[in-house]
């Protein structure tokens, strides 16, 4: 069943017996819920004298209402502007000057805050996370100040970038439900409209212990850590649970297409996306494995066909934008200057059709699995990464043990699973195509490549 | 689980001077209000970096081993004398092309065979070049490491440099050049290198359209024969492997690879540029100006290196630094800003960069230069200095989680010929830096009257105001 292994060995003349896959011990953790509803996950890992702490709040851009896009993320910035016992900016000043590192990040589904620090600063991390969960200090000046920083973040990531609008347009066309229809960064007009009252209400609704998960991983003693968690977080009052957001989407009836005249781009690009189920759904898992076969690295089908064989594209990417709700299966190709974007699109379409028509090969599947195992192993080299994964999986899926099972589920995907999921979701009617063309560029029929030289 | 590191609660001079006791009145620091109510530990968790074991390989390379069984992976890397600085005059890109093509065909494997073999193993097999050096690297799960290493062996010993692959590579490079002209960061960086190092190969950050037209397969073969040699180079291996296993595997895989040693590529380290200058790179439709403010400074072996690290921690390293606190947190001009010393054998410059909305280009640049002036003219207050030193010393433990980063520290020590106890005494050396030291190096290396400014943005809106900061030269992207 493994003709390729034989070829490989014959070719190199160096025979190495393939050894049994190495085993990684599962992440062990405790799972406790405080009286105020705060869920606390603790995983000991005594490899290095550091610990990671993550607080994942069950709120993301999906919870925003019309006219307030970008708010969840703007709020994230406010969490660094001070609380009752921590001054504006003091949070990051203390973390970094005590040898740690920290950040926060918002996506469609959740907002997570995290630090990694030397283990002797355990009280510092817990105190500061508890203080801002308890008593965020919201002022007009601080809001104005961070509004500017966020607008600058939008310019940096979207408005001043080639293909910046492409991502936003894609979500608008893939999703009809407002929850996922708009971008995390939000519109400039909505960012301008956000008020102090909005921030206060948002804080009260979503930043409650019963709407959050605290995870710690690293060189910790579980019992001692839990006692400290109770001391710092125990008195924060519970709030009424926010209403769950409806993420359901109507079925797509026909393909949607859009062309962008991109004033900042110099090379055309094709973006294609199919709407697929949540990351936890079996079909969603199967399609995530399919992305590595279709477009992961130089051995993938799309790279070989588009970049090497036909030379119509210069880069290809394929991946799943995985969400707690409907997700996206994406293909992106940077078109070789002078080539017709339609030819590139047609070739991608052919490769998708092949995925529907025939099972992927054993070799391709085995390759994808080895890649999954390596990724899983590498992610374990960081206490912070473990803490974030535990917090997010618990917040989003109510499943802290997903850190141990998610990769197993991906490893169990079969060729039949992939084909079945592809047939169900990788259909033209379920697809969006966005073509980004450099503004002012002449329509196709350009000179042959070497003549690009001046 | 076994403890891997020697822990010492080193309270030394640094720690004692460090944190203000709780309950002190609120203090203000630009962009930050310190209430001093959060519980901080006053001790610094000092750690001794686990020693790397040194061995010699049969091909003459020197090997460092950092054994760590936390996860079942092994990472190997080794320097080779290839590098952009070896490119023949007028042919930037030969080293880059050689590294690319060596991975695109051997006597028994096509480019696709090579990509497939690495993918089957879930392994990374890579050959890359930087300015001074090249690197070969293999990273894989423990059980796949031998087979992944065999791919590297095949590439190093049996490359064929297929002409059709070279042609295709050039096609992709031409597109990459075109695409880079739409990216402010690439535009600024390319111009900066031309400004700082106008006379030699350092001025190129990538092949040019012109050189792509000239580079031939023979250039690559000549480069490969001369610079892909192991003897005298530093190799390192980290992860799930013992020193004995490492030597056995590497000798088996790379024992036949011979040649060297090759002398280091030496280039003069230019002194700071004397005259102030502004380079404007027009990028129509920009809504931000990307600013890069720089001048020549120190190389990695300079005795001023450690004071410069502390200086940079105060000025522009991360969110606790002055540039971030002032220009982002207080003024709201930017999403991110930072400064750094680029210090190696052949690179020796200081720079700060940020992207700001077009409308605040002038005040943002003025404020940035004000911070440069301030750190030159005024002694850093004691508390802020202690915090900066603490940030460097206390963060040392974070690097212990990954064996690859421990190995990296020892590779640096060997590469620059620093003493054996370099990392053991690093904390003490940082702690010894005084406010006077910082002011001295700031006056020497933080540019002000001779600052070199690169601005990428909407020329129609920023062209005039830039004249206030020095003589302006327009440098269109296509001239890069």
Residue B179 to residue A266, Cβ atoms within 8 A: yes
Residue B335 to residue A160, Cβ atoms within 8 A: no
Contacts of A441 in chain B (CB under 8 A): none
B73, B183, B401 member nearest A378 (Cβ): B73
Q: Are residues A40 and A172 in the same domain?
A: yes
pLDDT tens for each residue of chain A, 454 residues long: 233 323 333 333 333 334 566 678 899 999 999 999 999 999 999 999 999 999 999 999 999 999 999 999 999 999 999 999 999 999 999 999 999 999 999 999 999 999 999 999 999 999 999 999 999 998 999 899 899 999 999 999 999 999 999 999 999 999 999 999 999 999 999 999 999 999 999 999 999 999 999 999 999 999 999 999 999 999 999 999 999 999 999 999 999 999 999 999 999 999 999 999 999 999 999 999 999 999 999 999 999 999 999 999 999 999 999 999 999 999 999 999 999 999 999 999 999 999 999 999 999 999 999 999 999 998 889 999 999 999 999 999 999 999 999 999 999 999 999 999 999 999 999 999 999 999 976 554 443 443 333 3
Q: Is residue A65 assigned to a domain? A: yes
Does residue B120 contact residue A363 with C-beta atoms inside 8 Å? yes
Q: Is residue A112 assigned to a domain? A: yes
Q: Are residues B195 and B285 in the same domain?
A: no
Distance CA A231, CA A224 (A): 11
pLDDT at B19: 37
Q: Are residues B123 and B23 in the same domain?
A: no
pLDDT at B27: 53
Q: Are residues B458 and B392 in the same domain?
A: yes
Q: Are residues A215 and A280 in the same domain?
A: no
Q: Is residue A109 assigned to a domain? A: yes
Peptide bond between residue B261 and the one before it cis (omega within 30 degrees of 0): yes
Q: Are residues A190 and A225 in the same domain?
A: yes
pLDDT at B45: 82
Number of domains comprising chain A: 2
Instruction: Give the distance between the most distant pair of CA atoms in chain B.
Output: 73
Residue A24 to residue B72, Cβ atoms within 8 A: yes
Q: Which of B221, B254, B287 is the last residue of a domain?
A: B254
Q: Is residue B263 assigned to a domain? A: no
* Residue B20: other Cβ atoms inside 10 A: 14
Distance CA B451, CA B375 (A): 15
Residue B320 to residue A93, Cβ atoms within 8 A: yes
The answer, for B168 touching chain A at a CB cutoff of 8 Å, is: yes
Q: Are residues A34 and A182 in the same domain?
A: yes
pLDDT at B46: 74
Interface of B with A in 424-463 (CB under 8 A): none
Interface of A with B in 378-417 (CB under 8 A): 378, 380-383
Does residue A238 contact residue A209 with C-beta atoms inside 8 Å? yes
Q: Is residue A242 assigned to a domain? A: no
Interface of B with A in 179-218 (CB under 8 A): 179, 181-184, 209-210, 212-213
Q: Is residue A243 assigned to a domain? A: no
pLDDT at A20: 61
Does residue A199 contact residue A78 with C-beta atoms inside 8 Å? yes
Q: Are residues A289 and A150 in the same domain?
A: no
pLDDT tens for each residue of chain B, 480 residues long: 333 444 333 333 333 333 333 444 445 689 999 999 999 998 888 788 999 999 999 999 999 999 999 999 999 999 999 999 999 988 999 999 999 999 999 999 999 999 999 999 999 999 999 988 999 999 999 999 999 999 999 999 999 999 999 999 999 999 999 999 999 999 999 999 999 999 988 999 999 999 999 999 999 999 999 999 999 999 999 999 999 999 999 999 999 999 999 998 889 999 999 999 999 999 999 999 999 999 999 999 999 999 999 999 999 999 999 999 999 999 999 999 999 999 999 999 999 999 999 999 999 999 999 999 999 999 999 999 999 999 999 999 999 999 999 999 999 999 999 999 999 999 999 999 999 999 999 999 999 999 999 999 999 999 999 999 999 999 998 764
Q: Are residues A291 and A150 in the same domain?
A: no
Q: Are residues B391 and B361 in the same domain?
A: yes
A16, A89, A159 member nearest B325 (Cβ): A89
Residue A88 to residue B394, Cβ atoms within 8 A: no
Contacts of A449 in chain B (CB under 8 A): 171, 174
Q: Are residues A152 and A282 in the same domain?
A: no
The answer, for B111 touching chain A at a CB cutoff of 8 Å, is: yes
Number of domains comprising chain B: 3
Q: Is residue A21 assigned to a domain? A: no
Q: Are residues B360 and B234 in the same domain?
A: no
Query: Is the ipTM of this structure higher than 0.85?
Result: yes
The answer, for A165 touching chain B at a CB cutoff of 8 Å, is: no
Q: Are residues B206 and B289 in the same domain?
A: no
CATH of the domain at A295: 3.30.830.10
Q: Which of A200, A233, A266 is the last residue of a domain?
A: A233
pLDDT at B266: 84
Residue A10: enclosing H or E segment and its boundaries? helix A3-12
Contacts of A144 in chain B (CB under 8 A): 332
The answer, for A118 touching chain B at a CB cutoff of 8 Å, is: yes
Q: Are residues A326 and A212 in the same domain?
A: no
Q: Is residue B269 assigned to a domain? A: no
Detail the DSSP E strand segments found in A34-163.
39-44, 50-57, 101-106, 111-118
The answer, for B108 touching chain A at a CB cutoff of 8 Å, is: yes
Domain boundaries, position A69: 30-233
Smallest CA–CA distance from A303 into chain B, residue: B112
Chain A, chain B: beta-carbon pairs less than 8 Å apart:
284
B5, B212, B391 member nearest A96 (Cβ): B391
Q: Is residue A225 assigned to a domain? A: yes
A124, A266, A371 member nearest B40 (Cβ): A124
Structure tokens at B372: 């440069």
Most A CBs within 10 Å, among B75, B122, B476, B480, to test the A interface: B122
In which region does residue B434 sit, left (phi positive, over 0), alpha (psi from -120 to 50) or beta (all else)?
beta
pLDDT at A442: 55
Residue B153 to residue A14, Cβ atoms within 8 A: yes
Domain boundaries, position B103: 53-254
Q: Are residues A219 and A271 in the same domain?
A: no
Q: Are residues A37 and A145 in the same domain?
A: yes
pLDDT at B44: 87
pLDDT at A448: 40
Q: Are residues A225 and A339 in the same domain?
A: no
């Amino acid at each position: 069943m493994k003709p390729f292994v034989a070829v490989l060995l014959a070719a190199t003349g160096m025979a190495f017996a393939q050894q049994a896959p190495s085993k990684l011990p599962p992440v062990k953790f405790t799972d406790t819920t405080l009286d105020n509803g705060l869920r606390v996950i603790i995983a000991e890992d005594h490899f290095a004298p550091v610990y990671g702490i993550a607080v994942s709040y069950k709120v993301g851009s999906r919870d925003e209402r019309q006219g307030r896009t970008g708010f969840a993320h703007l709020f994230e910035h406010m969490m660094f502007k001070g609380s009752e016992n921590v001054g504006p900016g003091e949070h990051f000043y203390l973390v970094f000057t005590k040898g740690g590192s920290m950040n926060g990040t918002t996506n469609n589904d959740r907002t997570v805050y995290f630090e990694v620090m030397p283990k002797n600063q355990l009280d510092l991390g817990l105190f500061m996370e508890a203080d801002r969960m308890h008593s965020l200090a919201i002022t007009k000046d601080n809001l104005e100040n961070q509004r500017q920083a966020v607008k600058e973040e939008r310019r940096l990531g979207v408005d001043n970038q080639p293909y910046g609008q492409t991502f936003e347009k894609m979500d608008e066309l893939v999703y009809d439900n407002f929850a996922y229809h708009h971008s995390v960064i939000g519109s400039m007009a909505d960012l301008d409209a956000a008020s102090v009252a909005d921030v206060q209400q948002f804080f009260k609704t979503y930043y409650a212990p019963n709407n959050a998960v605290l995870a710690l991983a690293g060189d910790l003693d579980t019992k001692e850590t839990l006692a400290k968690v109770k001391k710092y977080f125990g008195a924060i009052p519970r709030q009424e649970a926010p209403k769950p957001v409806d993420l359901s989407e109507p079925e797509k009836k026909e393909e949607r297409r859009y062309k962008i005249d991109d004033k900042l781009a110099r090379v055309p690009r094709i973006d294609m996306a199919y709407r697929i189920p949540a990351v936890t759904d079996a079909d969603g898992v199967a399609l995530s494995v399919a992305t590595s076969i279709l477009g992961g690295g130089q051995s993938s089908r799309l790279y070989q066909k588009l970049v090497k064989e036909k030379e119509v594209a210069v880069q290809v990417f394929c991946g799943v934008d995985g969400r707690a709700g409907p997700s996206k299966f994406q293909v992106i190709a940077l078109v070789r200057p002078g080539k017709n974007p339609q030819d590139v699109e047609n070739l991608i379409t052919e490769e998708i059709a092949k995925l529907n028509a025939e099972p992927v090969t054993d070799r391709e599947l085995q390759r994808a699995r080895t890649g999954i195992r390596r990724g899983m192993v590498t992610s374990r080299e960081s206490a912070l990464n473990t803490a974030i994964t535990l917090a997010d999986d618990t917040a989003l899926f109510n499943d802290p043990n997903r850190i141990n099972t998610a990769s197993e589920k991906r490893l169990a995907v079969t060729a039949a699973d992939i084909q079945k999921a592809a047939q169900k979701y990788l259909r033209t009617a379920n697809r969006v195509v966005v073509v980004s063309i450099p503004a002012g560029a002449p329509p196709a029929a350009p000179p042959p490549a070497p003549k690009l030289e001046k | 689980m076994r403890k891997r590191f020697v822990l010492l609660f080193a309270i030394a001079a640094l720690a004692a001077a460090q944190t203000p006791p709780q309950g002190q009145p609120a203090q203000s620091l630009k962009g930050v209000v310190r209430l001093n109510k959060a519980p901080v530990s006053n001790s610094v968790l000092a750690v001794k970096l686990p020693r790397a074991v040194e061995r010699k390989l049969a091909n003459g390379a020197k090997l460092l081993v950092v054994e760590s069984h936390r996860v079942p992976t092994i990472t190997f890397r080794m320097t080779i004398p290839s590098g952009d600085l070896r490119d023949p005059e007028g042919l930037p890109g030969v080293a880059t092309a050689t590294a690319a093509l060596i991975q695109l065909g051997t006597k028994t494997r096509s480019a696709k065979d090579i990509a497939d073999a690495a993918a089957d193993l879930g392994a990374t097999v890579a050959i890359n070049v930087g300015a001074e050096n090249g690197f070969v690297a293999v990273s894989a799960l423990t059980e796949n490491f031998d087979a992944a290493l065999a791919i590297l062996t095949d590439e190093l010993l049996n490359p064929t440099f297929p002409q059709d692959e070279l042609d295709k590579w050039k096609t992709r490079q031409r597109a990459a050049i075109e695409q880079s002209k739409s990216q402010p960061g690439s535009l600024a960086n390319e111009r900066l290198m031309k400004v700082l190092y106008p006379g030699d190969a350092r001025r190129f950050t990538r092949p040019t359209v012109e050189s792509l037209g000239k580079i031939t397969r023979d250039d690559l073969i000549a480069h490969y024969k001369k610079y892909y040699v192991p003897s005298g180079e530093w190799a390192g291996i980290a992860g799930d492997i013992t020193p004995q296993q490492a030597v056995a595997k590497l000798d088996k895989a790379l024992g036949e690879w011979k040649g060297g040693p090759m002398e280091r590529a030496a280039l003069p380290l230019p002194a700071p540029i004397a005259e102030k200058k502004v380079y404007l790179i027009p990028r129509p439709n920009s809504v931000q100006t990307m600013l890069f403010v720089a001048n020549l400074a120190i190389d990695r072996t300079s005795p001023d290196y450690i004071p410069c690290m502390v200086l940079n921690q105060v000025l522009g390293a991360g969110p606790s630094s002055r540039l971030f606190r002032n220009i982002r947190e207080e003024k709201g001009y930017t999403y991110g800003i930072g400064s750094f010393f680029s210090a190696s054998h052949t690179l020796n410059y200081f720079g700060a960069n940020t992207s700001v909305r077009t409308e605040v280009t002038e005040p943002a640049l003025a404020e940035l230069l004000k911070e440069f002036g301030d750190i030159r003219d005024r002694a850093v207050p004691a508390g802020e200095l202690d915090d900066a030193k603490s940030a460097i010393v206390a963060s040392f433990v974070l690097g212990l989680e990954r064996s690859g980063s421990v190995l990296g520290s020892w590779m640096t020590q060997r590469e620059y010929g620093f003493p054996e106890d370099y990392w053991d005494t690093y904390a003490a050396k940082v702690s010894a830096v005084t406010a006077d030291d910082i002011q001295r190096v700031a006056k020497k290396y933080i540019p002000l009257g001779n600052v070199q400014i690169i601005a990428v943005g909407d020329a129609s809106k920023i062209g005039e105001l830039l004249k206030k900061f020095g003589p302006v030269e327009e440098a269109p992207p296509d001239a890069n």
